Structure 1
Amino acid sequence: MSTISILGDYEYVYVESEYYAALKKAGHDIKIHHEELKNDLEIIDEIHDAEVVVLMRERTHLNKNVLSNAPNLSLISQTGKGLNHLDQEFAEKQGIEIRTTEGVSSQSVVELTIGMMIGCARQFSVHQLYMREALWEQTPGFELKGKRLGLIGFGHIGKGVSQIANSIGMDVVAWRPRGDKANEQEDYQVRILSLEEVLSTSDVVSIHLRLLPEFRQFLNRDRLRLLKKGAILINTSRGELVDEQAIATLLENHHLLGAGIDTFTTEPLTDNPFKNSTNTILTPHIGYVTYDVLQRFADASLKNVIDWYNINDQVSPPF
């Protein structure tokens, strides 16, 4: 039987999966690494003999140097859809198959997005500062009911956010890169508008785009200036989609009432452009970080491995 290397399991969730038990029962040698691997040499040492590598999110980078030192590697099972940490072109040349797990974390990101919207509208971060300083100060916020939510992108997460926002009583509009799709406006009670109209008329703008090359710095300084005064900006997608310094300037100038930001261009965040912004909720890329999601990630990525063995082995293992 082969060697399977699981990397980035900081939360120790893989051993709880029924698919882990099935792979062990079939006789596969499974090695789980729970700590961060900090350089190529450490990664190579972990995967050199592996036929299969399982990755938790984008925690471990497999570049050309790493992949060229894994002669037995035939499958990478990646949690989530993001592949920017993998040299996909080189993997394809090496005949390494890449399988992903889509839609597993959507609900957790949806709930974080809604939480940030409420937190910014009611200025949670400002009131936390007051309370820690023993100040009894009440700064008015605003209700979300009756306000316009503008979604930039309308995939699984954007649709989930729209459903909750509609139940609150918000007017939901969206811009999507490829325009309207049949029945979506009716099914989700959302109107598809131009990008300029979504940005300039929404009380809350929430970003839900995939990090594709054409979307890097998509919300640049000029587009961000279209945001209406007193609006809230939420980014639980990717930091590279926006001009972070432009957002920080709009916050410091009080053009934006607040922002909820879970993802950053550089992670971990070291040089924080939002350190002088008071009504800003910052979280360290926790959109997917719930035990529910992590367990679903483990299950889905290991099921990918089982499916792959059943297709590629001449004698299928007893799953």
Structure 2
Amino acid sequence: MTKIVVTPRSFARHSREPLDMLKRQGYEVVLNPFGRIMTKEEIGGLIADADAVIVGVDPLDREVLEKAERLKVISKYGIGTDNIDTSFAQERGIAVSVAAGANTDAVADYTFALMLAAARKLTVIDQECRKRNWTKLTTLDVCHRTLGLLGMGNIGKAVARRAAGFDMKIIAFDTIRDPAFAEANGIAYAERIEDVLRTADFISLHLPLNERTRHMIGRAQFAMMKPTAVLVNTARGGLIDEEALYETLKAEAIWGAGVDVFEEEPPGNAALLELDNLIIGSHCAASTVSAVDNMGLIASRNAIHAIEGLQTAQ
């Protein structure tokens, strides 16, 4: 019997259809028994005799994959593959797929939520009101300001469409350009990342994590930003140097930040949790009912297609 391990805790939480799809194929389905992100030892043990895995952010590096001698399919529950050693998977002939487009709107919505919350200091105001402090705080406007997008894939484009409702000017940087979309939405491409950092009032990251992008926002980049800048990251932990982020926010060198993803979750630097100009998310930008259902359906469908394709080829 084909064995498939499913690690995401939200898989089939609202609709059983993603799970039922797998069971109708006659697969043995093993769900995450830990109720949290697994360690390398834990996931390595579960997939040691598995044919396929639907994985969230649990580690699938070379050390783990070497233990999974039968594994032929990795179906990502989401789109980021930085937790997967895709080079080694390719070397081993393991098919890797992603749930493209499943959570685009959810992440774009949350990006704007963080942007607004940081600019308007919503959490600070909420906390003070609960203390019966009705002092009014003067905060930042979002409307008519300049939004800088680093990365103009599906999510970056979705954020740009939302920004139109706020009459924002948009400047973007990406190594792959879509001139037709940019022209239709009034977006100006920058030649360098530095141009975005110096110009934008709001900077939103929508890039994959790799050796080229790791810590792309560090002390030098923070020094380029306006003192009223707001930085938002709903992409991947590791894009921002978190020590530099802490130092910058502690010194109030920029207005604030909204961060949903960290290199270690919860953040290894506990001092970040004490900053009132940082809005923190629990890697939950994609956690809406529709996005969870979509990710489950697409991940299951991708796994089935890969498994059945391999079996047919044999």
Q: Calculate percent identity across the aligned residue pairs.
A: 27
Q: Where does residue 303 of structure 1 map in the other structure?
A: 301
Q: Which amino acid aligns with 1:24?
A: K
Asked if residue 49 in structure 1 is aligned to residue 49 in structure 2, the reply is: yes
Q: Partner residue of 1:222?
A: 220
- Structure 1, unmatched stretches of 5+, are none
> Aligned pair in 2 of structure 1 residues 156, 37: CA closer, same or farther (>3 Å)?
closer
Q: Partners of 1:26 and 1:15 in 2: how far apart?
A: 21
Residue 211 (structure 1) shift = 0.9
Report if aligned partners of 1:166, 1:189 keep a CA contact under 8 Å in 2. no
Q: CA deviation at 1:273?
A: 4.0
Q: Does 1:210 align with 2:186?
A: no
What is the aligned residue count? Answer: 312
Change (3 A) 1:193 1:132: same
> CA deviation digits over 1:113-159, x for unaligned, max 9?
11111112211122123123321111111322211111112111111
When residues 7 and 151 of structure 1 are mapped into structure 2, their CA distance, relative to the original with a 3 A threshold, is same
**Which residue is equivalent to 1:21?**
20
Distance in 2 (CA, whole Å) between partners of 1:239 and 1:315 is 38
Cα 1:185–1:314 change in 2 (3 A) is closer
Q: Would the aligned equivalents of 1:49 and 1:71 in 2 still touch at CA under 8 Å?
A: yes
Tell me by how many angstroms 1:226 deviates.
0.8
Deviates further, 99-108 or 17-26: 17-26
Match of 1:284 in 2: 282
TM-score, normalised relative to structure 1: 0.89
Amino acid paired to 1:117: M
**Aligned twin of 2:70:** 72
Q: Does residue 188 of structure 1 match 2:185?
A: yes
In structure 1, C-alpha distance between the alignment counterparts of 2:168 and 2:136, rounded to whole Å: 25
Q: Deviations over 1:228-284 (max 9, x none)?
A: 121211111223112222222222222212211111122221323434422221111
Out of 272, 275, 290, which is 1:274 matched to? 272
Q: Based on CA coordinates, which of the two structures has the bigger radius of gyration?
A: 1
C-alpha distance 76-173 of structure 1, shift in aligned 2 (>3 A)? same
Q: Which 5+ residue runs of structure 2 have no aligned equivalent?
A: none
* 1:315 CA drift (Å): 9.4
Deviations 1:188-247 (A, max 9, x none): 221112422321122111111111211111122112111112121111122311222222
- The residue identity in structure 2 corresponding to 1:240 is G
* C-alpha distance in 2 between matches for 1:266 and 1:44: 20
Where does residue 310 of structure 2 map in the other structure? 312
**Residues 1-319 of structure 1: pairs in structure 2 closer than 5 A:** 1-8=1-8, 10-13=9-12, 16-35=15-34, 36=36, 38-55=38-55, 57-58=56-57, 60-178=58-176, 180-194=177-191, 195-314=193-312
Q: Supply the distance in 1 between the matched residues of 2:206 and 2:21 (Cα, whole angstroms).
A: 36
**What do the CA deviations read for 1:3-54 (whole angstroms, capped 9, x no partner)?**
222223x235179343532432332222222423644443233223221222
2:179 is aligned with what amino acid? Answer: A
Question: How far, CA to CA, are the matches of 1:145 and 1:265 in structure 2?
Answer: 31
Residue type of the alignment partner of 2:20: A
In structure 2, C-alpha distance between the alignment counterparts of 1:231 and 1:21, rounded to whole Å: 47
Distance (whole Å) between structure 1 residues aligned to residue 18 and residue 240 of structure 2: 39
Relative to structure 1, the CA distance from residue 39 to residue 126 in structure 2 (aligned partners, 3 Å threshold; closer, same or farther) is closer
AA paired with 1:25? R
Counterpart Cα distance in 2 of 1:95 and 1:210: 23
CA contact (8 A) 1:120 1:281 kept: yes
Rounded to whole Å, the distance in 1 between the matches of 2:270 and 2:260 is 13
- 1:136-186 Cα offsets, whole Å, 9 max, x none, are 1111113222111111121111111111111111111112234x4332321
Mean CA deviation greater in 255-264 or 270-279:
270-279
Assess, with a 3 A threshold, how the Cα gap between structure 1 residues 142 and 23 changes in structure 2: closer, same or farther: closer
Secondary structure class of the residue paired with 1:113: helix
Alpha carbons of structure 1 residues 282 and 314: separation in structure 2 relative to 1, 3 Å: closer
Q: TM-score, normalised by structure 2?
A: 0.90
Distance in 1, matches of 2:14 and 2:242, equals 39
| AA in 2 matched with 1:268 | P
